[in-house]
Amino acid sequence: MDPFLRSSQSLPVESALAVTPSDTADLAPPSGDPNKATRALLIGGAGTAQVDMADGTTVTLTFPATACGLMLPIAVKKIHATGTTATAIVAFY
């Protein structure tokens, strides 16, 4: 299921979660729906993030300093500890 069909992207985010990267645990949305992917990420400190995207693929994203502090529309389910050097990550739902 496309996680973006649940609500319009033009609406404000409903909740936020400070992220602790983990190689084993998926992100735990505040709504309690374990299948819900993020609507956006905020990266506080430049670096990389190895993530499981909403479609199940695992990719390594690079966030330059110019991307820090911006809400980036990225739908992810997990942010791995291994391969992640970006800091102060916030997930928005």
Give me the residues of the chain with pLDDT under 70, please. Answer: 1-10
Write down the H helix ranges in the chain: none
Q: Tell me, yes or no, whether 23 lies in a domain.
A: no
Q: How many residues does the chain have?
A: 93
Q: Tell me, yes or no, whether 85 lies in a domain.
A: yes
pLDDT at 8: 56
pTM of the predicted structure, to 2 decimals: 0.85
Cα separation of 73 and 39, whole Å?
6
pLDDT at 1: 44
Read off the tokens for 38: 């993020």
User: Is the Cβ–Cβ distance between 35 and 49 less than 8 Å?
Assistant: no
pLDDT tens track for 24-43:
999 999 877 888 899 999 99
Domain assignment of residue 60, given as a range: 36-93
pLDDT at 2: 47
Q: Tell me, yes or no, whether 21 lies in a domain.
A: no
Average pLDDT, the chain: 89
Torsion over CA: 20, 15, 4, 35 (sign): positive
Number of domains in the chain: 1
Q: Tell me, yes or no, whether 2 lies in a domain.
A: no
